[in-house]
């Protein structure tokens, strides 16, 4: 893995990503990406031979509540955060004309 990302590589990635970058942005991204690679290089220097592979850094357990029946929300509770309402319904903008349906 290269330790430096040069401007040519940044321009190539920008073309692949369909991004239009200014010369200043190319120079900035080149410096930033090179700094990221240097940091990853430092991490690779760590001795992890005695570290057990894990999926999470801390032990986790299921945080879901039990699925037990509860009283349903009232109409007013359900529509409390609605930007607009029409009686007991959400009011939304019309998206289809009669002719297009």
Reply yes or no on domain 7-44 having CATH 1.10.10.
Answer: no
3-state secondary structure the chain: CCCCCCHHHHHHHHHHCCCCCCHHHHHHHHHHHHHHHHHHHHHHCCCCCCCCCCCCCCCCCCCCCCCCCCCCCCHHHHCCCCCCEECCEECCCCCCCCCCC
- Contact (Cβ atoms closer than 8 angstroms) between residue 79 and residue 88: yes
Asked whether the whole model's pTM tops 0.85, one would answer no
pLDDT at 62 exceeding the cut of 90? no
Q: What digits encode the pLDDT tens for the residues 65-95?
A: 888 999 999 999 999 999 999 999 999 988 8
- Residue 54 confidence (pLDDT): 81
The domain segmentation of the chain, as residue ranges, is 7-44
pLDDT: is 67 or 23 the higher one?
23
- Residue 74 confidence (pLDDT): 94
């Amino acid at each position: 893995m290269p330790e430096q990302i040069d401007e040519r590589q940044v321009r190539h990635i920008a073309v692949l990503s369909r991004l239009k970058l200014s010369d200043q942005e190319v120079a900035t991204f080149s410096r930033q990406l090179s700094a990221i690679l240097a940091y990853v290089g430092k991490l690779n220097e760590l001795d992890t031979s005695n570290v057990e592979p894990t999926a999470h850094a801390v032990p986790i357990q299921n945080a879901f509540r039990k699925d037990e029946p509860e009283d349903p929300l009232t109409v007013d509770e359900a529509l409390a955060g609605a930007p607009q309402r029409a009686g007991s319904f959400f009011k939304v903008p019309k998206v289809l004309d009669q002719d297009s349906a």
